[in-house]
Amino acid sequence: MKHLVNKVMLEKVDFMGDTVDVKKLTVSDILEIQKTSEKLAKSKSPDEMALIREVIKRAVIGADEISNEEFETFPLSELTDLSNNIMRLSGLNSQGAVEGN
């Protein structure tokens, strides 16, 4: 099993009539996303898109090069669907809880 440490698993996911390469989130990615979620929950004026951006930037190949302003040019429903697909591929539901088998 040691030979699989740091192995990246990719899947193609539909996004805006095209496909993007998505890597399955690691445990450390998920823990960082949970920290962001907790910070946003405590914030007096949370950035509603911050969590979606973080999920997408961590998982979609090349998304880390997109600015926050550029993210605002995408339809919200497309970003939400993409984020939900990333979570599902990583074994989580859209609320971040582990999905049962």
CA distances from 91 to 49, 67, 88, 97 (A): 22, 27, 5, 8
Residue 39, token pair as written in the block: 């910070």
Stretches in the chain below the pLDDT threshold 50: 101
Q: DSSP letters along 24-73, please?
A: PPPHHHHHHHHHHHHHHHH-SS--TTHHHHHHHHHHBTTGGGS-HHHHTT
Check residue 80 and give its pLDDT: 95
Check residue 101 and give its pLDDT: 46
Check residue 40 and give its pLDDT: 87
HSE of 44 in the Cβ direction (CA atoms, 13 Å)?
A: 0
Check residue 100 and give its pLDDT: 53
Ordered by start, the domain boundaries in the chain are: 15-89
